[in-house]
Structure 1
Amino acid sequence: MNRGITTMEMLKTAFVTLLLVTYSQTEEIPDEYQIPELCPKECNCPQSFPNAIYCENKGLKRIPVIPPNTWYLYLQNNLIDVLSADALRNATQLRWINLNRNKITSESMQADALRAMPNLIHIYIEDNLLTTIPSPLPAKLEQLRLSRNRISKIPPGVFAGMDHLTLLDLQGNKLLDDAVTEVSLKGLSNLIQINLAKNHLNSMPLGLPATTTQIFLDGNNIDKIPAEYFKGLPKVASLRLNRNKLADGGIPKNVFNLTSILDLQLSHNQLTEVPAISSALEHLHLDHNKIKSVNSSDICPPGALDEYVEENGPHLRYLRLDGNEIEPPIPRELMMCFRLLRAIVI
């Protein structure tokens, strides 16, 4: 049996080799199927993933010369402290670069090192030593992940022309309120997700693009929300404000009563009451506050108990109330209001 399998494998290998030889003699192999030329000796270039180069966990202090036809470059977990434009000069086809957990500073990032790669759409430079947003950025960039650096400023104009960027991750940096403004974010005309969690914000960030759908602000020092804050954010569907300093007085009565919001997270704050919500809300996190009771007349959207129609009734499916001062049982009216509720933690 083993001999038969070995023979079959040999035949398959010979057949594939013959196909490649025949194809190469008759027609040029497309770039996207070519194995990267001159694979750096420090890296791995698997034939099963011919456009990827793996150089992670190699103790590298410099980026090796990257050959053309490389699409995916993995350089995480090294000691790289310089982002050299020369090393990436030939990597004009690069789509994805991962430089997480290195020692790159803003000063050691050479000018045009990133823009030299016009096809780059994903950049990972997390857990480094950056103090500002890299500039200039590739025009086609879609995702920029810079979490857990030391970024304290966003230079005006750094996102000019970045209308392809949909995800901006800046969590775990040192951004203050005056760093996140309409001026600093100008150019992000198609942004969908922004992550500003674990910074030093005392107020809701200003100037977020109207296209923003997901806003992550966990772990800041925000204590109030302006009444008209979401007027310019008609598409916000997910809002995370866990671990801030929000109390009842800092939340205007209907500020969260928006049909666009589907996921609202307010865990680990100082609330004593459940804020007003819309019928469209599906996930509500209120755990670890100071709430003593849940009054169904307050939390249930107006008219929901009068004549229940599933299509128009409340859509709440998940509710967390644990870590408060609420005693069981769950009020019957609450279950009558939220008939789609599948899980409640109390």
Structure 2
Amino acid sequence: MRMLVRLILGLFVLKAVVASPRFSRQADLDSYDSANYDVDLDNSNLENQDIYDYEEGLTIDDPQIEIGTLAPPDYNYPVPETSIEEEAEEEETEEEEMPLKPQLVPQGSGGSGVLMGPDTQKDMPTCLLCTCLGGSVYCDDLKLDSVPPLPKDTTHFYARYNRITKINKSDFANMNKLKRIDLTANEIKSVDDRAFMGMPQLEELVIRENHISQLPALPETMSLIDASHNNIGTKGIHREAFKDMTSLLYLYLTDNNVDYIPVPLPDSLRSLHLQRNNIQMMHEDTFCNLKDFNYIRNALEDIRLDGNPINLSRTPQAYVCLPRIPIGDLI
């Protein structure tokens, strides 16, 4: 009877062991290893012991561990230092990319033939002292006290807001391409009478805001003359100075001491500014032709005489050929 009880208890223990999860997993692992790797279980006691020890730490409630690939850590790799030779090559590349400096012009104006010397401030070439763009030379606000020698191909010259006191005949000698000269706001007191006569293509002259008392002779090619804000008086304009300027469009003599309208004026003239002078009278044929009542002067549509001691209503016949009455006092 005692043997039967032991047998029954042994069966219950065996059934419990077989039904346990640990045994099931071990059985599955053993069958998997035997089927795939043909492991000799008799000679692998150490491996079985390792597996057993590993499984001893696991329970049914233990969370499953998902094995994956971890992202590599972020490393800040050091940047290799630039060698001396590479730095030199980079500096050479930067120098090649820099804009080119103005080139030395081989010959200047005024018969000097050079661009170095006292006529160019600080012994510098004109195109380094000034700015040369194509045929234009800009020398504004450089404290110049004289006209610098210019390249022979100069077409436009600007030297505004400087300290130039005199215009010499040699300053623009042999400048055959020069079309415009602008000397606004200098300290010019005298101009050689034929200083601008050697330029066959000169069209525009601006010498406003200076101290000029005598308007120099100008070529017949002029289209714009601006000598406003000077000291030009009664004898400051040559007789019939503008008669043969068949291309003259604009004549500005504002803020001077002129006491008459400088007739005859070319038919091409569009704008005449004489405001704030000392003009006191006007003739009836100043603008019109009294011998031809059919004559109409369509071009001259801008006449400024305001600021003069003249009564425009006293000479009504002087405006019959004009498209507009001059601006000024009518009383």
Q: TM-score with structure 2 length normalisation?
A: 0.56
Q: Is the 8 A contact 1:133 1:154 kept in 2?
A: no
Amino acid at match of 1:147: D
Residue 305 (structure 2) aligned to one of 321, 327, 339: 321
Is the aligned partner of 1:292 residue 2:280?
yes
Q: Is the 8 A contact 1:131 1:151 kept in 2?
A: yes
Amino acid at match of 2:222: V
1:157-172 → structure 2 map (5 Å cutoff): 158-160=149-151, 162-163=152-153, 165-172=154-161
Residue 271 (structure 1) aligned to one of 220, 233, 258: 258
Helix, strand or coil: the match of 2:317?
A: helix
In structure 1, C-alpha distance between the alignment counterparts of 2:325 and 2:318, rounded to whole Å? 13
Residue 195 (structure 1) aligned to one of 159, 178, 182: 182
Amino acid at match of 1:255: A
Q: Is the 8 A contact 1:304 1:314 kept in 2?
A: no
Structure 1 regions of 5+ residues with no counterpart? 1-64, 69-86, 93-112, 118-129
Partner of 1:30: none
Q: Is the 8 A contact 2:104 2:127 kept in 1?
A: no
Partner of 1:106: none
Structure 2 regions of 5+ residues with no counterpart? 1-90, 106-119
Change (3 A) 1:89 1:116: farther
In structure 1, C-alpha distance between the alignment counterparts of 2:290 and 2:247, rounded to whole Å? 18
Q: Aligned Cα RMSD in Å?
A: 3.3
Identity over the aligned pairs, expressed in percent?
A: 18
In structure 1, C-alpha distance between the alignment counterparts of 2:208 and 2:248, rounded to whole Å? 17
1:251-262 → structure 2 map (5 Å cutoff): 251-257=237-243, 258-262=245-249
Q: Is the 8 A contact 2:127 2:137 kept in 1?
A: no
Amino acid at match of 2:247: S
Q: TM-score with structure 1 length normalisation?
A: 0.54
Give CA-to-partner distance per residue, 1:2-30, whole Å, 9 cap, x none.
Answer: xxxxxxxxxxxxxxxxxxxxxxxxxxxxx
In structure 1, C-alpha distance between the alignment counterparts of 2:272 and 2:309, rounded to whole Å? 17
* Structure (1/2) with the larger helix percentage: 2
Is the aligned partner of 1:141 residue 2:134?
yes
Give CA-to-partner distance per residue, 1:63-116, whole Å, 9 cap, x none.
Answer: xx9x99xxxxxxxxxxxxxxxxxx798324xxxxxxxxxxxxxxxxxxxx4217
How far the C-alpha of 1:214 sits from its partner, in A, is: 0.6
Amino acid at match of 2:205: I
Q: Is the 8 A contact 1:159 1:187 kept in 2?
A: no
In structure 2, C-alpha distance between the alignment counterparts of 1:337 and 1:189, rounded to whole Å? 38
Q: Is the 8 A contact 1:115 1:136 kept in 2?
A: no
Q: Is the 8 A contact 1:304 1:337 kept in 2?
A: no
Q: Is the 8 A contact 1:132 1:152 kept in 2?
A: no
Partner of 1:341: 324
Give CA-to-partner distance per residue, 1:267-286, whole Å, 9 cap, x none.
Answer: 11112221112222111000
Give CA-to-partner distance per residue, 1:270-307, whole Å, 9 cap, x none.
Answer: 1222111222211100000111233223x225x36514
What is the aligned residue count? 217
How far the C-alpha of 1:201 sits from its partner, in A, is: 1.8
1:1-346 → structure 2 map (5 Å cutoff): 90-92=98-100, 113-115=101-103, 131=121, 135=125, 137=127, 141-155=134-148, 158-160=149-151, 162-163=152-153, 165-177=154-166, 180-186=167-173, 188-204=175-191, 206-208=194-196, 209-225=199-215, 229-230=217-218, 233-257=219-243, 258-276=245-263, 277-297=265-285, 299-300=286-287, 303=289, 306-310=292-296, 313=297, 315-329=299-313, 331-338=315-322, 340-341=323-324, 344-346=327-329
Amino acid at match of 2:209: G
Larger Rg: 2
Amino acid at match of 1:201: I
